[in-house]
Amino acid sequence: MNRVDPKFKDKLKPYGISDWNECFHCGNCTAICSHSEDSLLMPRNGIRAIQLGLKDKIHNNVDPWLCYYCGDCSEECPRNANPGELMMALRRYLTTVYDWTGVSRIFYTSRTVMIAAFLIVAAAVVGIGAMYSFQLEPIMEFGHLFEKIAIISVAAFILLPNIIRMFRLTLIKQKIKVPLSTLLSGIADLVINMFTQKKTLDCKENRVRWFEHFILVLGYLLLLATTVFLNWFGTDNIYIIIFGYVVGAITFIVTFDFIIRRIRKKAEISKFSHLSDWMFVVWLFLMGLSTFLIRVFIDIGIIQDHLWLYLVHLIILAQWAVIIVPFGKWMHFLYRSFAIYIAEMKKKALSLKQQNQVTTITA
Ligand code: SF4
Ligand code: SF4
């Protein structure tokens, strides 16, 4: 049963939208949305649930993740209700619903706490620098170890439990029974969707945006692999060095373009930027740029005199790893891919149920 929470709309304000009543349900947005189907009236279903205060319906549904924020619906809306951004706000909110620690909710609802967290992490890195008497080699060794520990810890203690929680809310709690063979058969598609986000291509005129996102995801993952597993800052292998330069450059050039678009606000998708959107692109840009510069400084032999650059990089990296990845917009990358998988599993479970009913009636 869906309980009504009359204050639900107010609780959503920190996530980017304050007025959910502009929509009068003309249906234009659903008609234009290329991801909308008979069983999935996007984005109107979600807006209706918010207006009625149907909190559980929002929690149990993956629909907001199936929106790729092309902005077509916002352009067509006669009430300027901005349905595309409403979906985005719901995704921010759902990020906090899946997070078992409750930390993302605190960060989304209090800028003061979030800024304090960024400052604490920065101070901790400077403290570690002092602990090693501001000697470059031991600090770099620490940084390299930190990257590995952060990846394993965040994956084990935040990402995995949150994904399980998402499954519990959207599939298990709904008592939707999906055979194990069906669950397994969807895994290949899950991985393909995660790394290609190919469903973005269903939105009209989205090819350039899809390509930029695709090479950014590729550049980011390869940069991570090059620095963490191939020890880019410590290697003498020329191929690894050149490879690192290429993927580092891709990361900061593409994110720089994203930042410029958000500043210009020309496209529908870039008109509204929540603090979490800014932090995601700016930190990704700073990570790509600082990683690139450190290797340049190593190659021209001046890194020993510029320890500050490595410390700045370590601060950005630590803030990214312990704040933005586990509790911020980075998680959208995972949740969207799993949402597509869950939506597909729900469809298959429904189809199997209908087939069984037909068989029973015929028998
Ligand atoms: S969001 Fe706008 S286009 Fe969509 S149903 Fe509401 S009023 Fe119509
Ligand atoms: S932003 Fe695009 S994908 Fe999202 S609901 Fe609107 S039309 Fe559909």
Q: Is 345 in the pocket of ligand 1 (CB under 6 A)?
A: no
Assess whether the C-beta atom of 222 lies below 6 angstroms from ligand 1.
no
Determine how many CB atoms are found less than 10 A away from the CB of residue 35. Answer: 18
CA angle 263, 257, 286 (to 5 degrees): 90
Phi, psi of 78 (to 5 degrees): -75, -15
Residue 1 pLDDT exceeds 70: no
In sequence order, the 6+-apart residues with CB closer than 8 A to the CB of 209 are: 200, 269
According to the model, what pLDDT value does residue 229 have? 87
Give residue 121's pLDDT: 97
| pLDDT given at position 128 | 95
User: Does 94 fall in a domain?
Assistant: no
Where is pLDDT greater, at 208 or 238?
Answer: 238
Cα(87) to centroid(ligand 1), Å: 12
Angle between helices 275-299 and 207-228 (to 10 degrees): 50
Top mean pLDDT of 60-64, 128-132, 174-178, 352-356 is at 128-132
pLDDT at 105: 95
- Dist. CA 20 → ligand 2 center (Å): 16
User: What are the CB-based long-range contacts (under 8 Å, 24+) for 207-212?
Assistant: 209/269, 212/254, 212/257, 212/258
Q: Please identify, by atom number, the ligand 2 atom nearest to the C-alpha of residue 68.
A: 3
Q: Are 139 and 132 in contact (CB under 8 A)?
A: yes
To test ligand 1's pocket by mutation, which of 79, 80, 90 has the most ligand atoms within 8 angstroms of CB?
Answer: 79
How far is the centre of ligand 1, averaged over its atoms, from the C-alpha of 78 (Å)?
Answer: 7
Within-domain flag for 112: no
The answer to whether the beta carbons of residues 54 and 185 sit under 8 Å apart is: no
Q: Which residue lies with its CA nearest to atom 6 of ligand 1?
A: 23
Residue 282 placed within a domain? yes
Q: Which residues contact 356 (CB under 8 A, 6 or more apart)?
A: none
Please report, rounded to a whole number, the percentage of residues in the chain having pLDDT higher than 90: 52
Top mutation candidate among 28, 37, 62, 69 for ligand 2, by most atoms within 8 Å of CB: 69
Q: What is the reported pLDDT for 111? A: 92
pLDDT confidence band for 133 (50 / 70 / 90): very high
Query: How many structural domains comprise the chain?
Result: 1
* In a domain? residue 226: yes
**Strand partners for 331:** none
86 lines ligand 2 (CB under 6 A): no
CB 43 within 8 A of CB 33: yes
Question: Confidence band (pLDDT; 50, 70, 90) for 209?
Answer: confident
pLDDT average, residue stretch 247-264: 90
Q: How confident is the model at residue 202 (pLDDT cuts 50, 70, 90)?
A: confident
SS3 37: strand
Q: Is the CB of 313 under 6 A from ligand 1?
A: no
> Can you tell me the distance from the alpha carbon of 189 to that of 193, in angstroms, rounded to the nearest whole number?
6
243 alpha carbon – ligand 1 mean position (Å) = 47
Backbone angles phi, psi at 186, to 5 degrees: -90, -5
- Among 151-160, 176-185, 349-358, the least confident range: 349-358
Q: Which among 161, 160, 166, 165 is positioned nearest to 62, based on CA atoms?
A: 166
Residue 198 pLDDT exceeds 70: yes
pLDDT digits (tens, 9 = 90+) for 263-320: 998 887 788 889 999 999 999 999 989 999 999 999 999 999 999 999 999 999 999 9
In a domain, 86, yes or no: no
pLDDT of residue 136: 93
Residue with tokens 């639900």: 8
Task: pLDDT band for 248, please (50, 70, 90 cuts).
Answer: confident
The whole-angstrom separation of Cα 96 and Cα 88 is: 13
Helix spans in the chain (H): 8-11, 28-32, 44-51, 55-59, 72-76, 83-98, 103-109, 111-131, 136-154, 160-167, 180-185, 187-196, 207-228, 238-264, 275-299, 307-319, 325-327, 331-362
306 falls within a domain:
yes
Is 156 contained in some domain?
yes
Ligand 2 centroid to residue 64 C-alpha, Å:
9
Ligand 2 pocket test, pick from 28, 61, 70 with the greatest ligand atom count within 8 Å of Cβ, gives 70
The answer to whether residues 212 and 267 touch, using CB atoms and an 8 Å cutoff, is no
- In this structure, the residue with its CA closest to atom 7 of ligand 2 is 33
Contacts of 323 (CB under 8 A, 6+ apart): 107, 114, 117, 118, 121
Question: Is the beta carbon of 43 within 6 A of some atom in ligand 2?
Answer: yes
User: Does 58 map to a domain?
Assistant: no
> For tokens 């980017």, what's the residue?
16
Residue 38 above 70 pLDDT? no
Is the CB–ligand 1 distance for residue 28 below 6 Å? yes
- Residue 4: φ, ψ to 5°: -95, 130
310 lies in which domain range?
134-175+206-329
